[in-house]
Chains A and B, each alone.
Chain A
């Protein structure tokens, strides 16, 4: 590659919009005892921050979760609660 050539190319990666976890005012907390592993939250999460565990239930990626609350809104068994972000 010649040293003056520079192309407008980007590569798929996390955090293209920054550390979006900092955007949160409330955060989702999953009650695993109530979670039935239906994955509705996974289907509707707009940030790919709902992660499916080995046992089929879910975890949250707090580094990037924006706290929109769709997961809590869609959970059929109310296993997710939106909790005030402490700091």
Chain B
């Protein structure tokens, strides 16, 4: 176990190395580019001996990782917004094939117009695809969840691809202290590759030719059953991961913070959970009983955990960093609300903030919660709205310091 100060991207690259990935397909896109650069450097130094396929598009990146995975070798790729949307067809193809594969998405807003900064929309838009989807909160989680992803996807009760999301720039590029496990610890945690079938001349089988409609439907149901059963698997593997990272708590899918005696709970996903925890502490110091439910696994969606954390609360605020156009709420709100027993939870509200890289501080989250609590206590109907922080300064393109 080593303590290193690394960014989310570097942490992911380290996890890929520790997992002994065989084939890495890469295509650059901000903000994941440093993952693939780090991996290329490692390869050039001989630190890893993976085959690196420098493909010509993200669609090909997923196809190449998939071709390697289906031939018996652990594979990995990484992408973001435009790239993820471009490989959308292949993302579905991989989950339909039931091939274990891991992808990291450094989330980024989607064009048009161009925007390179953080937003969760690209990641969330893939939630129909049949992948297991986890979202990290800090570089430590980025490393831990990527390592666990290989184990989860290759579990015979699952056999599905896993994607791990992390906030672009905020998490991908920001450095924090990270406990990096030793290769021995990871080898003990991660057994050799396991997959449901393999395309190899030793045993000729066909993958993917036509099935009768009713059989196709059964194949789809199998995917769904596997995702639902993966909840159990994720908890088991999370518990076992404590041998690798003693301070990690991965025994539940969605961690909570001070919900036990909360009247109000904020639900959110991603790096700003850290800011939310500070906002909660500040509100609690003023007598407001607030807690947080952090969504760490978007798929499988644990109805049970959501229900347990939110039942009986006076108000639930879903803070979203993504859009699902056409409704007066974001996508996380739809997921959360549909999991709540009718009449057992008070008001539920959706607040969309921080899109396109708009900076949301702990003070902003405090204000949002204060407004929400006020509305509930005074009997007003809570509204779903888009939050714009006050006095936002436009980004000034600066002259680089080296030229000044």
Contacts and interface: CB of A to CB of B under 8 A. Distances in A.
B97 A8 contact: yes
Interface stretch (B12-20, B200-208, B246-254): B200-208
A87 interface: no
Nearest to B228: A4
A11 B226 CA distance: 23
A8 B157 contact: no
Contact of B222 (A6, A10, A11): A6
Given A7-B98, A7-B196, A12 B222 contact: no
A77 interface: no
Interface string A55-74: 00000000000000000000
Contact of A8 (B96, B156, B225): B96
Nearest to B98: A7
Given A2-B156, A2-B157, A8 B205 contact: no
Interface in A1-17: 2, 4-12
Contacts of A12: 204-206
Contacts of B211: 8
Contact of A11 (B96, B159, B205, B219): B205
Contacts of A6: 218-219, 221-222
B196 A5 contact: yes
A67 to B, nearest CB: 24
Given A2-B156, A2-B157, A8 B218 contact: no
A4 B226 contact: yes
Contacts of A5: 98, 156-157, 159, 196, 222, 225-226
A6 B225 CA distance: 10
A11 B206 contact: yes
Interface of A: 2, 4-12
Interface of B: 96-98, 156-157, 159, 196-197, 204-209, 211, 218-219, 221-222, 225-226, 229
